[in-house]
Amino acid sequence: MNVKVYSTPTCPWCHKVKDFLKANKVEFTEVNVAEDSEGRTEMIEKSEQMGVPVVSVDDSVVIGYDEVKLKELLKL
Amino acid sequence: MYDVIIIGSGMAGLTAAIYASRKRMKYELIAGEFGGQFMESGEVLNYPGIVKTTGVELSSVMQEQLDFNSVKPKLEWVSTVEKIGRDFIVKTDKEEYKTKTVIVATGARHRKLNVPGEERLAKKGVVYCSICDGPLFSGLDVAIVGGGNSALEAVDFMKDIANKIYLIVRGPEFTAHEYLIEKVNANPKVEVLFNADTKEVLGKKFVSGIKLEKHGMMRELAVGGVIVEIGLIPNTDFVKGLVSLDEHGHIDINCKTESNVPGIFAAGDCASGHEYQYVIAAGQGCMALIKAARYLANRD
């Protein structure tokens, strides 16, 4: 499974998402959209919005910290 | 039958729960999600005993303190509180709790502008939490709407991120702490527009501007982001009709945190103090629990 977390360093819910993934031993790539402008564009195109965090799991996208949806997609 | 049901897990509710646990009362702490507005606070520089922290740090310290005191919040959404004789039934999406007293500490949520374009462009350039979503506006011109502490804190947070900041204040002056006003006035990136009323958020797929009325004249500003910080609405809908609310929907309390219904107490941002500070919420949470315990001791 290809998991990507689009986040900013100051966003509290982004920390929560990352902590959740780490606690469940899910490997993920992190994109800091505050600095990485290509990553930002990619996130906006994928999620059609500008709020963080965004988590992509293969072709699916989860906007915000949504534990229920993440568990379902990651089969936890 | 519980001694007390504490509703809400922000600073006020957590403080009440810590005291309830230490007093060995029969209680539950119920909240739809953990942590209240901790997750939206940037720097916290005025909490007594802590020189400098952030909302997230404070939240993790509080979590540790809950663990230390064996407080385990129940993550359930409260739908109603009913008065049965002199007791109460707190109904959630999962359970019902019969209790002798209730502490309402449900905090407040962001007030919206209620103008065209706002809802359609939410999260597409319209945001309510600058530390969460503000960095997405890196290098862009932004508008921050509001003239209170939260708006001026948002300006301070955005000063190294945005290109230019329009600060749109509906009234003739700021209603914020002096140190924040000094910071804003010293910032050359900020253009302050007083007496400016936001009329519309503009943009097709994403925000491209904001429309204002100032002294009867319409003006459009080209911005890539709109940060709305115009105050809070108390989360008290579920007790409407049960307790007396003030004109803004806060639960009317006296200096003992008592509502007009014996056995129901309120603390923090949902109560009628109208000053949204962690230290006030903590103090009121403590007061509410102690007064609830005293009420129980006196009622039989």
SS3 content of chain B, % helix, strand, coil (to 5): 30, 30, 40
Residue among B38, B135, B206 whose CB faces A10 most closely: B135
Which residues of chain B lie closer than 8 angstroms to A13, CB-CB? 39, 132
Which residues of chain B lie closer than 8 angstroms to A16, CB-CB? 39
CB B6, CB B13: distance < 8 Å: yes
CATH number assigned to the domain with residue range B112-228, chosen from the 4 options 3.20.20.10, 3.50.50.60, 3.40.80.10, 3.30.1330.20: 3.50.50.60
Per-residue DSSP letter, B93: S
| CATH entry 3.40.30.10 includes domain A3-74 | yes
Q: How many CB atoms lie within 10 A of CB A24?
A: 11
Does the CB of A51 have a partner CB in chain B at under 8 Å?
yes
Which residues of chain B lie closer than 8 angstroms to A12, CB-CB? 38-40, 55-56, 59, 131-132
Mean pLDDT, each 10-residue run in order, chain A (76 residues): 92 89 96 92 92 94 91 93
The answer for residues whose C-beta is within 8 angstroms of residue B259's C-beta and 6 or more apart is B104, B243, B244, B251, B252, B253, B265, B266
- Name the burial class of residue A54, with classes exposed (0-12), middle (13-18) and buried (19+) by CB atoms within 10 angstroms of its CB: buried
Mean pLDDT, each 10-residue run in order, chain B (300 residues): 97 97 98 80 84 87 94 94 97 97 96 96 91 89 96 94 97 95 96 97 96 95 96 94 96 97 97 89 98 93
CB B159, CB B134: distance < 8 Å: no
Does the CB of A12 have a partner CB in chain B at under 8 Å?
yes
The answer for residues whose C-beta is within 8 angstroms of residue A60's C-beta and 6 or more apart is A73
Contact A13 B206 (CB under 8 A): no
Per-residue pLDDT, A66: 87
Residue B173's SS3 state is coil
Residue among B56, B136, B225 whose CB faces A52 most closely: B136
Residue B145's SS3 state is strand
Per-residue pLDDT, A62: 95
Per-residue pLDDT, A9: 86
Residue among B42, B123, B131 whose CB faces A50 most closely: B123
- Torsion-angle region of B235 (φ positive above 0: left; ψ -120 to 50: alpha; else: beta): beta
Would you list which residues of chain B are within 8 Å, Cβ to Cβ, of chain A? 38-40, 42, 55-56, 59, 123-125, 127, 131-136, 138, 157, 161, 205-206, 225
Per-residue pLDDT, A12: 82
* HSE, side-chain direction, 13 A CA sphere, residue B294: 10
Q: Do B2-109+232-299 and B112-228 share a fold?
A: yes
Which residues of chain B lie closer than 8 angstroms to A50, CB-CB? 123-125, 127, 133, 136, 206, 225
- Cis peptide bond N-terminal to A9, omega within 30: no
Length of chain B as a residue count? 300
Per-residue pLDDT, B276: 83
CATH topology for the B2-109+232-299 domain: FAD/NAD(P)-binding domain (3.50.50)
Q: What are the strands of the beta sheet with B142-145, ordered from one edge?
A: B126-127, B225-228, B142-145, B165-168, B190-193
The answer for residues whose C-beta is within 8 angstroms of residue A10's C-beta and 6 or more apart is A34, B42, B131, B132, B134, B135, B157
Does the CB of A40 have a partner CB in chain B at under 8 Å?
yes
CB A13, CB B132: distance < 8 Å: yes
Shortest distance, CA A24 to any CA of chain B (angstroms):
19
Predicted ipTM > 0.90:
no
Q: How many CB atoms lie within 10 A of CB B200?
A: 17
* HSE, side-chain direction, 13 A CA sphere, residue B299: 13
Chain B interface, best mutation among A36, A49, A63, by max B CB count within 10 A:
A49
Domain map of chain B by residue range? 2-109+232-299, 112-228
Closest residue, chain A, to B162 (C-alpha): A34
CB B12, CB B105: distance < 8 Å: yes
- Token pair belonging to A67: 């534990």
